[in-house]
Structure 1
Amino acid sequence: MHHSPRQFESQAEEVEHRSSLFRMVLESVVSLAIAVILFRTFQAEGYMISTGSMAPSLLGYHKQVKCPRCEFSFTYGVAYDDSVSANRFQTHEHSHGEVLHQSGQYATCPNCNTHSIDLTNVPRNEGDQLLVFKHAYYLKGPQRWDVAVFQNPIKPTQAYVKRVVGLPGEAVQVKQGDLYIDGKIQRKDLKTQNAVRLLVHDHHYQPKNDDFFQPRFVPVEVDEERSSHPSWVSEPEGFSFDSSDSDPLNSAVSLEWAWVKYQHWIRQGGHYLTVTPLEAWPEEIEQPEPVLGPVQFDPKKKQLSCRGAMTSEDCHRLLDRTENDDFRYAVALLYEKSHVAPVLDQYAYNSGVENQESIPVHDFLFECNLKVHSGEGEFAIEMFDGHHRFRNLIDFKARQVTLFVDDQNKPVRTGHLSKTSQQKSMQLEMSIMDRQVLFAINGQLIYQPLLFSETTEPREPIREPVQFGANGGHFEVTELKLFRDIHYTRGKGLHGVEEPYRLDQQSYFVLGDNSPVSLDSRSWADGKVERKYLLGKPFLVHLPSRQGEVKIGSHVGHIRIPDFSRIRYIH
C-alpha cells in the first residue's frame, strides 16, 4: 500500500504526541511520589489506628453498620486480633494492658434503639489512617483539646493518639463528667464542641413499617380550648408552623406558643426508675413481690413504679386482671412514661458490656435548619440541663435574639440578627455543654457565652432535653439533630479523679474521647506524658477504605475499596 509523505508525517506526529503524553504522565507520577516521600520524611508521617479509645472521633478496626429499621449508618468497634488493646497504631502489645470487651456480634442502633443487629456477615474495616505533622510541637507545645500523637514511654516503637487536656504545671481533675483545671471547669468553644460531640438522634432517619416505634420529636399536645390555635405539623423531613390563617384580631391566639419537644424514647431495657400516682392497689390482684416484681406499689407514697421500659406483656397482664379504671389508667400511663428514658453516656461503637455502667448526661447540643417564610413572628429553642431551663428567643420583627433563664422575665443575654443571619434559611446551634450556653446562627455566635456555676444539689436525669416553639409567623424546621458531650468517666481512677493531679513543667495529661474504654492518664501507672515523647499533631484522615462486596457466582467476597466519605480534617 502506498503512503504519501504527508501521511507518514501525520503518523509520526501522532506517535510523538502519545510519547510526550505518556512521558508527561510518568514524570508527574514520579514527581508526586518524590514529593510525598520528601513530605513524609521531613514534614508528615502516616499512622493507622487499630483500636477505639478515640471513637467515634477517630476509628479503630470497626464494622460499618446500617440499621435495618431506620437505615442510620454507624460504626461498631471490633478487635483487630485476639488481644484488643488501647488506642495504638499497628502493634500487638500494650504495656498498659487496656482490654476492649465484646459481647457477641450484635449492635444497638443509637438512633432508633433497635437491639440485636446481627453483625456476623458485616465485613471488618481498617482503622483511620492519620497524616501527622511531625514538627507541630517543636517550638510550641500542644494546646488544650488538641489531638496529639506520642510515643509509649515504656516502648518507644509504639505510638498512641489521645486528646491533650492538661498542660504543664496545671492540676487536672475529672469530676462529674467534666474537666477541671486548678479547680475551674474547662469550657470548649463551639468548634471543639462540634469536633467531640456524639450523636443522640437524627430526625431524618425514621424507622419504616414499624408500628411500635414512637418518634422522638413530637408536637406538644394542647387542650381542647387551644385546639383552634396554630400548631406544628409533622412533615417528612421535619415540622412546619403557619399562623397566617389565624384571626389577626384575636390577641389570645397571637400570644399562644406552640411547641415540639424531644423525648428520649427507647424500645426496651434500662434500669432507671419511673413512677406514676396511684391511690390504692386493687384488691382483686395479688400484691407484687417486693423488689423482685417488674412493677412495684408503694402504699405510703401512693406510687406505682417500674425499672426500665415496661414490657407490653407486663402491661397487658395487669390490665387484663381488673376493671378498676384508676388502676388501668395508672398502668397505661406508667407503660408510656417508662419508654421515655434518661439520656445516657452510651456509645454505639462499644459493646453492650461496655455500656452497662452508663450514667445520665446533662450536656447537649441541638442543631436544626430554620426556614423563615415571613418577616414576623418569634421562634425559640429551650434546653434543660437538669437544674435550669435556658430559652433562646428570636424576634424576627425586632431582629433580636434574647436568652432567658428559668422563669426570669429579664434576658441575661441579648444579640442582634446580622445580615447573614437574616436569610430565609439559617442553621441554628444551641449548646449547654461545660456549664455554658452558646447560640450560633450559620456558625456565628450571636452573643457572649453565658457561664453558670455548679450547684450543690445533684442534677436530675434528663428525658426531655430540648424543645422548640413558635409564636406567630410561618416557619419550617428540618435537619433536626441532638448531640451530647463527652462524659469523662473514672477509668481506673489512679490519677486526676479522686484528687487533682499536678503536672510538672514538661508534661501533659491526655484523655481518650471514648472515655469508658480508653486507658489514658487516668489509668496508666504514670499519668503524665512528657513533652519529649510527642511525635506530632494529626491533621488529616487520609487513604481511608471500606469493604466492597464482590460476587462471583454464588460466592460473595469482600475487597478493600476507597472510602472518600471518611477523608476529613482533625480538630
Structure 2
Amino acid sequence: MSAGNKYGLLFLAVCGLLLFCGLGHYFFGPITPVRFRAAGGSMAPFVMGPHSRSVCPDCRFTFSVGVDTSVDLNDRICPNCGNRFPVSGAISILPGDPIRLLPYSKTGGPRRWDPIMLKTSQPPGSFTLKRIVGLPGERLVIRKGDVFINGRVVSKNLQQRREMAMLVHDNGHAPSELGQPTPWQPQNPHTDWKRQQGKWYYRAVSDSPVRQKPPTDSVREKPDWLVFQQYDDSLLTGRRFVESGMDDYFSYNQGTSFRRHWVSDVWLRCQVAMLGTGSLRLRVDNGRVQLEASLKPDQGRMGLSLSTSRSELNLSAVHADLESLRSDLVIEVGFCDGQGFVSVADQELVIPLPRQSGVFQPQSRPFAVAAKQTELTIDSLKVYRDVYYLAPNGSNQDWSPERPLAGDEYFLLGDNAQVSVDSRHWKASPHPGRKSLLGKALKGKKN
C-alpha cells in the first residue's frame, strides 16, 4: 500500500471517529460525564459544599461542618460521642465535593430520587443541585418528614435509601475517656458481650470461662441483649448526657439554630459473622411500632415480625444457604418510608406499616441486638436515619404546593432540608420543566 493510500485511510478513520462522537453527543449527550463542584451544602451529606473537617480528640470520629451553613464557632461538638472541644489553629476550608453530570439520554428520563443538576436563572447561567421528589401530574404532601404522593407515602429502594442515609452513630469510634457513656451497652450485668477495637463479640455462656458469679439457669435461657441508648448532645453540660429520642439534628449545620423534630425512620447496619446453632435477634422501636428480625443459621432463614398495640404480623423468607449465613454478612434492619425492612446480603424483606400505628413516643433506646447459644462477631455497627423533610417555615406541619404538578413539571428538594432552598421556596419557577434538568448528578472522585 502506498504512503498516499495510508494517509488517506487515516484521514477517513479520523473523520469517522469525529462524526461518531458528534452524532453520539447530539443524540445521547456527552460521552464522558461533565464535572462540577458543589457550591453549597443543600445536598449534604450526599455531596458537601465548601466545608471544614474536624477530628474528635476523644473518639477520633471525623466529621464535616459546612462553611455556607454555619457561623464561626470557637467549639465543635462531635456528633458521634457528644464531646465538645475547642477549635485550635487556623481552620482549613476544603472545596466542595466533586460532581459528575451524566446527561439524560432521549431513551431515558428523570426518575424519582435522582440527584440532578438544574439550570437556574438567578443569577443567570448558574446551576444548582437538588433531588427529584415529585413527578409530572402528581399531588405532593410533606408530612412528618416523609413525602406523600396522591395520598400515599413514597418509598425508596435499597440503593436509594443507602445513598440518602444520614449517619447518626458509628460504634467503631468510642469515647476514650474513662467514665464516659457509650451508646451500646449490655443490658445483663452477667453478659457474654465483650467490646474490643470497635467490634462486639459474643460467646454463649455454656462455652464461657468460669465466672465469679455464674448466671442461673433462668438467666441462661433469656436472650442476652445489647442495647443502644440515644443521648441528646444539645443538653450536654460538663460531659454529662441526658437520654433522649432521636431527632433530625445534622452536625454539618453546627452553629445554626433550627427547631428539632423527632424522627421515626431509623435503622441499624452491621456486619455479622455467626457460628453455632443458636440465634441472633435485632430489634428496632421507632416510637410507634416494634420490628424484630431473627437470624437462625441452622435453618438458613431470616424472619421478620412487626408488633403494635393492636396486632402482630410475621413474615419469613429464605435469604441464603447455611454456609453463607456463617460468613460475614451485611445486615440492615429498621424503618423507612412507611415500611419495616430487613436486608441480608442485599436481599430485602419488607413489611408495610399499619396506617394507624398509635401515638408517637420518642424512644431513647430504639435498637437492641440479642444472641443466644451461639458465637458471633459484630463489626461496622452503625445507626442511620432518613432525610427528614420540612415545611418551608422549618416546621413538621403538613404542607403541600398550591396545585398538582403539571404535565412537564418536577418537584425538587435538597437532602439537607434545614438549609436547602428548593421547590418549597422558589417563587418564579417552583416546579422546573424537563428542559431545565441537565442530567443526573453522580459523586466524583475526591482528590
- TM-score, normalised with respect to structure 1: 0.67
Cα–Cα, structure 1 residues 171 and 46, in superposed 2: closer, same or farther, change >3 Å? same
Alignment of 1:107-118 (within 5 A): 107-118=76-87
Indicate which of 269, 291, 295 corresponds to 2:234.
Answer: 269
TM-superposition CA deviations, 1:389-415 (whole Å, max 9, x none)? 111111222222211223899752101
Aligned equivalent of 1:361: 263
**Which amino acid letter does the alignment assign opposite residue 529 of structure 1?**
P
Query: How many angstroms does 1:384 deviate by?
Result: 0.5
SS at match of 2:435: helix
Aligned equivalent of 1:245: 207
TM-superposition CA deviations, 1:154-198 (whole Å, max 9, x none)? 544011110000000001111100011111001111111110111
Alignment of 1:322-471 (within 5 A): 339-354=242-257, 356-374=258-276, 376-406=277-307, 412-419=314-321, 421-445=324-348, 447=349, 449-455=350-356, 457-471=358-372
Contact 1:493 1:522 in 2 (8 A): no
Alignment of 1:38-57 (within 5 A): 43-57=32-46
**Which amino acid letter does the alignment assign opposite residue 484 of structure 1?**
R
SS at match of 1:502: coil
**Which amino acid letter does the alignment assign opposite residue 359 of structure 1?**
H
Q: Does 1:64 align with 2:53?
A: yes
Query: How many angstroms does 1:386 deviate by?
Result: 0.4
TM-superposition CA deviations, 1:33-59 (whole Å, max 9, x none)? xx9xx9896653222211100011111
Aligned residues: 411
Alignment of 1:17-36 (within 5 A): none
TM-superposition CA deviations, 1:60-112 (whole Å, max 9, x none)? 00112111111111111014xxxxxxxxxxxxxxxxxxxx4525354321111
Q: Does 1:259 align with 2:225?
A: yes
Contact 1:70 1:206 in 2 (8 A): yes
TM-superposition CA deviations, 1:362-397 (whole Å, max 9, x none)? 1112111111132x0010000001011111111222
TM-superposition CA deviations, 1:245-281 (whole Å, max 9, x none)? 379xx97455311000000135x533xxxxxxxxxxx
Cα–Cα, structure 1 residues 152 and 68, in superposed 2: closer, same or farther, change >3 Å? same
Q: Counterparts of 2:122 and 2:34 in 1: how far apart (Å)? A: 22
Query: How many angstroms does 1:344 deviate by?
Result: 1.5
Indicate which of 131, 134, 138 corresponds to 1:170.
Answer: 138
Indicate which of 157, 165, 181 corresponds to 1:214.
Answer: 181
Q: Counterparts of 2:74 and 2:41 in 1: how far apart (Å)? A: 16
Contact 2:245 2:364 in 1 (8 A): yes
Q: Counterparts of 1:493 and 1:76 in 2: how far apart (Å)? A: 20
SS at match of 2:317: strand
Aligned equivalent of 2:151: 183
Q: Does 1:529 align with 2:436?
A: no
Alignment of 1:186-201 (within 5 A): 186-201=154-169
Alignment of 1:271-286 (within 5 A): none
Query: How many angstroms does 1:352 deviate by?
Result: 2.6
Mark the runs of 5 or more structure 1 residues left unpaired by the alignment: 1-30, 80-99, 271-308, 313-334, 545-562, 564-571
SS at match of 1:269: helix
SS at match of 1:412: strand
Cα–Cα, structure 1 residues 58 and 384, in superposed 2: closer, same or farther, change >3 Å? same
**Which amino acid letter does the alignment assign opposite residue 56 of structure 1?**
P
Q: Counterparts of 2:144 and 2:311 in 1: how far apart (Å)? A: 31
**Which amino acid letter does the alignment assign opposite residue 357 of structure 1?**
R
- TM-score, normalised with respect to structure 2: 0.84
Contact 1:421 1:442 in 2 (8 A): no
**Which amino acid letter does the alignment assign opposite residue 72 of structure 1?**
F
Aligned equivalent of 1:506: 408
Cα–Cα, structure 1 residues 254 and 380, in superposed 2: closer, same or farther, change >3 Å? same
Q: Counterparts of 2:361 and 2:140 in 1: how far apart (Å)? A: 26
Contact 2:144 2:398 in 1 (8 A): no
Q: Counterparts of 2:394 and 2:331 in 1: how far apart (Å)? A: 38
Q: Counterparts of 1:426 and 1:380 in 2: how far apart (Å)? A: 14
Indicate which of 80, 86, 91 corresponds to 1:122.
Answer: 91
Q: Counterparts of 2:123 and 2:234 in 1: how far apart (Å)? A: 43
Query: How many angstroms does 1:117 deviate by?
Result: 4.0
Q: Counterparts of 1:443 and 1:456 in 2: how far apart (Å)? A: 28
Contact 2:291 2:334 in 1 (8 A): no
SS at match of 1:125: coil
Cα–Cα, structure 1 residues 533 and 378, in superposed 2: closer, same or farther, change >3 Å? same
Q: Counterparts of 1:493 and 1:311 in 2: how far apart (Å)? A: 30
TM-superposition CA deviations, 1:185-241 (whole Å, max 9, x none)? 011111111101111110111122x1342011000035xxxx4xx632233322222
Runs of 4+ in 1 over 6 A off after TM superposition: 407-410
**Which amino acid letter does the alignment assign opposite residue 286 of structure 2?**
D
Aligned equivalent of 1:22: none
Aligned equivalent of 1:146: 114
The structure whose RCO (Cα within 8 Å, separation 6+) is larger is 2
**Which amino acid letter does the alignment assign opposite residue 238 of structure 1?**
K
Query: How many angstroms does 1:440 deviate by?
Result: 1.4
Query: How many angstroms does 1:137 deviate by?
Result: 4.9
Contact 1:137 1:534 in 2 (8 A): no
**Which amino acid letter does the alignment assign opposite residue 180 of structure 2?**
F
Cα–Cα, structure 1 residues 262 and 169, in superposed 2: closer, same or farther, change >3 Å? same
**Which amino acid letter does the alignment assign opposite residue 510 of structure 1?**
L
Query: How many angstroms does 1:129 deviate by?
Result: 2.1
| Larger Rg, first or second structure (1 or 2) | 1
SS at match of 1:349: helix
**Is the deviation greater in 474-483 or in 234-243?**
234-243
Query: How many angstroms does 1:310 deviate by?
Result: 7.0
Q: Counterparts of 2:73 and 2:158 in 1: how far apart (Å)? A: 37
**Which amino acid letter does the alignment assign opposite residue 433 of structure 1?**
C
Cα–Cα, structure 1 residues 237 and 537, in superposed 2: closer, same or farther, change >3 Å? same
Contact 2:184 2:227 in 1 (8 A): yes
